[in-house]
Amino acid sequence: MKLWAGRFSKEADERVNDFNSSIRFDSRMFREDIQGSLAHAAMLAGQGILSQEDEAAIAQGLEGILQDLESGKLAFDPDAEDIHMFIEAQLTSRIGQAGKRLHTARSRNDQVALDLRLYLRRELGEVEALLKGLISELCGQAAKYADTVMPGYTHLQRAQPITFGHHLMAYAWMFRRDLLRLRDAAGRMDSMPLGAGALAGTTYPIDRWQTAKALGFSEPCPNSLDGVSDRDYCIELASAFSILMMHLSRLAEEVVAWCSWEFKFIELDDAFATGSSIMPQKKNPDVAELVRGKAGRVYGDLMALLTMMKGLPLAYNKDMQEDKEAIFDGVDTVKLCLSTFTPMLATMTVLKDNMRAAAAKGFINATDCADYLVKKGMPFRDAYKLTGGLVAQCVREGRTLETLPLAEYQKASPLFQEDLYTAISLDTCVQGRTSYGGPAPASVLRQVGQMRAFLQELGD
């Protein structure tokens, strides 16, 4: 029998029941639902709306339900409409009359808005811990490979020499912004919906500040309609998750490339790679590929939320029940990806010699050759053109800038002297890039220091 049987003359069609029910996905908020109910009952009692005895019975009943759900003694009823109805029905079956008083001055609309915020707040703590783990892994590897020379690319063409540490730190800065974006969004969901009622507040003398404080929010939502209708926080989080997944996916793509025979810059640990069912030689970077693929599903979650909300009039509409599967999928996917990706990075082998060999090809010191002429007084544009001619000559003759004889250089310009070879050596090119934020080992170590200070400041 439905709670609202009084108004209805017929049972709901079984198909409607199943269609309407959200318990198969909202049951994961049972802790938050109970937490919210405990705070609500305490506030009602504090305001004299509920007797102390009823409140005590409700609190005891709810604690019992929590224990039994945690231990698995109590199973969710798949026929319940949602987690809120399920817990209320359980409570009433356990404690009788008092259970029926819990829903005074409350609606499932403010209840679900509260539960979702509480749930996401807790999950965000976990995402943040995983992100910190990733950033700190990147810092560790960057410090280790602060002076490991590799080619830097634009258009996937070898461009200028950088260090592997510098490349990894680029990602650390992206993930730092992702972390801050999530914190920022969490700050904006720091108001408490309970007491907004179905949409129009209540005539009971409730104290919303008390429940807000008890539940760890800085204030009650200041507008009851907004309080039950706002799903901005889901959209903001899904958007921050999407950006994070985009970053992770770019790094994943690089890992895939670096593992290939064409690059061979890294080798993944056997425990973080997979084989082929037919090709015995294969070692595939499945983890990185899956992370890259899963970015798409998180973008999908964001689109689902945006589209679901776009035409909804105030206040609550059942469409909004769709928010949970989308945002839960986003949280789950991000957590899953981060918790697999970080150990994959931690266990990879870096093939420094291959990186260096790749850096030695592709004329990535051509800018430095031009800069050499500039330092001797030639305007940059002339030096650029002249060096371009030398590169073309080397390509024709199968040489590199390092192996082109001085006599050939001097045919192009008398400014070239023996010290040119030091100026265009890979080590000079990398060590010399000391401009703030550059790839020189000292700069990489400075970045690692900045990043570690940031992590420390965040605390645990």
Site residues, ligand ARG (CB under 6 A)? 22, 26, 82, 108-109, 112, 316, 318, 320-321
Query: Of 93, 218, 260, 276, which is the active-site residue?
Result: 276
Give the shortest CB-136-to-ligand ARG separation in angstroms: 37
Angstrom CA distances, 447 to 166, 168, 171, 342, 343, stand at 9, 11, 12, 20, 22
Give the residue with the Cβ less far from ligand ARG, 78 or 96: 78
For 352, phi then psi, to 5°, come to: -55, -40
Give the residues across from 120 on adjacent strands.
none
Give the residue with the Cβ less far from ligand ARG, 112 or 120: 112
Among 143, 140, 130, residue whose Cα is nearest residue 175: 130
CA-based end-to-end distance of the chain: 48
Among 125, 120, 103, residue whose Cα is nearest residue 26: 120
Give the shortest CB-82-to-ligand ARG separation in angstroms: 4
Query: Of 155, 229, 242, 425, which is the active-site residue?
Result: 155
Q: Which amino acid belongs to residue 24?
A: R
Give the residue with the Cβ less far from ligand ARG, 113 or 186: 113
Give the residue with the Cβ less far from ligand ARG, 113 or 355: 113
Respond yes or no: is residue 276 known to be catalytic.
yes
* DSSP code per residue over 215-227: TT-SEE-S-HHHH
Give the residue with the Cβ less far from ligand ARG, 223 or 321: 321
Give the shortest CB-271-to-ligand ARG separation in angstroms: 40
The owner of tokens 């959200």 is 22
- Interatomic CA distance for residues 229 and 43, integer angstroms: 23
Give the shortest CB-35-to-ligand ARG separation in angstroms: 17
* Contact in structure between 337 and 245 (CB atoms under 8 Å): yes
* Contact in structure between 197 and 105 (CB atoms under 8 Å): yes
Respond yes or no: is residue 155 known to be catalytic.
yes
Angstrom CA distances, 427 to 160, 225, 360, 430, 453, stand at 12, 64, 10, 5, 29
* Contact in structure between 179 and 131 (CB atoms under 8 Å): yes
Give the residue with the Cβ less far from ligand ARG, 321 or 339: 321
Q: Please enumerate in sequence order all residues whose Cβ is within 8 A of that of 154, keeping only pairs 6 or more positions apart, or say none.
A: none
Give me the active site residues, please: 155, 276
